Structure 1
């Protein structure tokens, strides 16, 4: 945490000690489908919406939200609502004294959703969990994957190649920025996973704000409830959520770190716009610059390891 703390201090960020306590999810570990998965059917037919927390075991705000929903007895009026505590094993090791250490146990659960990987011979804790969750996700019409952020930046939606997913994120409207990209070189994300026979999927990843903050959990609640209203699972019209005009940006370049010497020229923040040609980072002898005018930086990973995505560079649709 010392390197992380130094970088955060350099951008004027407060210390990253958890302000949000990890929930006690003991009552929910057994599930009513498989461990950590709860599914409820409404009295009317409708869509199947799956809300996923703890894809990364240290991103506890999503688990706080699902715990609150389960304790309150939230149920859909129509369709089916499925709540998933994804990486239970990693979350079990969450320690507020070292809160970045429990992101995963053996590999990133959000990089294993390639069909070849899921059906291949490799065996890890995360792959076992992904294989167990696969039938649950295969049955869903809409997937909302709840995440939070270590580095400073405004909340946003991430979607893959599906135009239907981008349209749904834009309808949600807050946070106002939706970024469409092709994912990571390391492997497919949960939102990129397509069930057998499917050609598209409304999978949306919400980056709701900083890790371990109550505001992040509250933002997840607002977005998820609006999604349930838009998809007809909750009664009544969805609350208006457009403090700003929704914007769609598409990633034009994804930077993957190649060497242990990858260094940004400064601690860039997600959402910053930079002029074309701006020197952003050096990866060994390689200089990495903004490829054109009006580029938007998306979720810089200020301490990337070789093979990890270090930065996505996007352009707003309809101009810069």
Structure 2
């Protein structure tokens, strides 16, 4: 487990269990449950050809100057709610009133492998595309489908002033915006306003995400990025949440005209303090927690990982996107505390 990603009261969430505890929990189930699928993959064939020099990337530029806003979908091939929204914007012929808008379908090869009978299998082809975003990895001689594609779209990423990466969740949880570790990311997420849950974090042990790329993670830089986790992968509500967030971003960045709207809910800011990584193949939670749950008591048992117990290190601890079936080395859950409400 990696921890210490923010200042926090309390001890480490990982403690060595008493031997008798090993008999309390049943062994982890082997098969994934069936997931409800309310949406179907969109037809992206009009956009996966070469529009602007890079297949799967579409640019629109206004005559008036303004920021370059980049929207990315399909970094994970089975998370296509964001692709539905980008496809919708393109078919509606949405154009920026100023600045530049770039829409990126990031991993079309993984998306092409999606099948409803095994919907989790098309997350990527060879490796997780959202763990490769460092200059060291991108400039290395290593090759994969995802790395080659990341290098292909990198010139667009390098010119983005504002980026929002569109994702969804396999396991149940409240929609949220991941703001990374910078104040610029938190401001961007708060500006979008929907969903109102904003979580600051330091990414994953397995590798840097797109929003962690140094263009956006430099605390002194002018650029900002955030990651939308809009809800369950294949839910119609997730498409609606994504559509609302995307249009709010475009309005607030000046690329679309401002429209009258009811006041947005006040954002709730949290900071991830601990990242719990599964260290054994037998990691299992004591019950199927949902993302966004608040565990009121310090020391509450959350999971067992081999001989270790995972317990809440402080009261009022939020569980961020628990992965109910983590593989060894994967993030199982992030633990977060509420930040003071900004003035």
| 1:27-106 to 2 correspondences below 5 Å | 27-33=46-52, 34-106=54-126
User: Does the CA-based 8 Å contact 1:265-1:281 persist in structure 2?
Assistant: yes
- Work out whether 1:225 is the aligned partner of 2:225: no
- Which residue of structure 1 aligns with residue 337 of structure 2? 315
Tell me, in whole angstroms, the C-alpha distance in 1 between the residues paired with 2:282 and 2:260.
Answer: 48
- Work out whether 1:291 is the aligned partner of 2:299: no
Deviation, 1:172, is 1.7
- Which residue of structure 1 aligns with residue 279 of structure 2? 258
Deviation, 1:133, is 1.1
Tell me, in whole angstroms, the C-alpha distance in 2 between the residues paired with 1:76 and 1:47.
Answer: 10
- Which residue of structure 1 aligns with residue 291 of structure 2? 270
Q: TM-score, normalised by structure 1?
A: 0.93
* SS at structure 1 position matched to 2:275: strand
Deviation, 1:240, is 4.3
* SS at structure 2 position matched to 1:207: strand
Please, what is the CA RMSD of the aligned residues? 1.7
The number of residues matched between the two structures is 309
Deviation, 1:17, is 3.4
Match of 1:132 among 152, 170, 173: 152
Tell me, in whole angstroms, the C-alpha distance in 1 between the residues paired with 2:37 and 2:123.
Answer: 14
User: Does the CA-based 8 Å contact 2:252-2:258 persist in structure 1?
Assistant: no
- Work out whether 1:24 is the aligned partner of 2:52: no
* SS at structure 2 position matched to 1:27: coil
Deviation, 1:60, is 1.0
> Rg larger in 1 or in 2?
2
- Which residue of structure 2 aligns with residue 189 of structure 1? 209
Indicate how the Cα distance of structure 1 residues 122 and 116 shifts in structure 2: closer, same or farther if over 3 A, else same: same
* SS at structure 1 position matched to 2:32: helix
Indicate how the Cα distance of structure 1 residues 67 and 131 shifts in structure 2: closer, same or farther if over 3 A, else same: same
Indicate how the Cα distance of structure 1 residues 238 and 302 shifts in structure 2: closer, same or farther if over 3 A, else same: farther
Which string of whole-angstrom CA distances, capped at 9 and with x for unpartnered residues, describes residues 98-138 of structure 1?
A: 11110001110000002211111211110001111111100
* SS at structure 1 position matched to 2:185: helix
Deviation, 1:249, is 0.1
Tell me, in whole angstroms, the C-alpha distance in 1 between the residues paired with 2:187 and 2:224.
Answer: 9
- Which residue of structure 2 aligns with residue 209 of structure 1? 231
- Which residue of structure 1 aligns with residue 189 of structure 2? 169
Which string of whole-angstrom CA distances, capped at 9 and with x for unpartnered residues, describes residues 130-154 of structure 1?
A: 1111111000000010111111111
Please list every run of 5 or more consecutive structure 2 residues that lacks an aligned counterpart in the other structure: 1-28
Structure 1 residue ranges (4+ consecutive) displaced by more than 4 angstroms after TM superposition: 196-199
Please list every run of 5 or more consecutive structure 1 residues that lacks an aligned counterpart in the other structure: 6-14
Deviation, 1:197, is 11
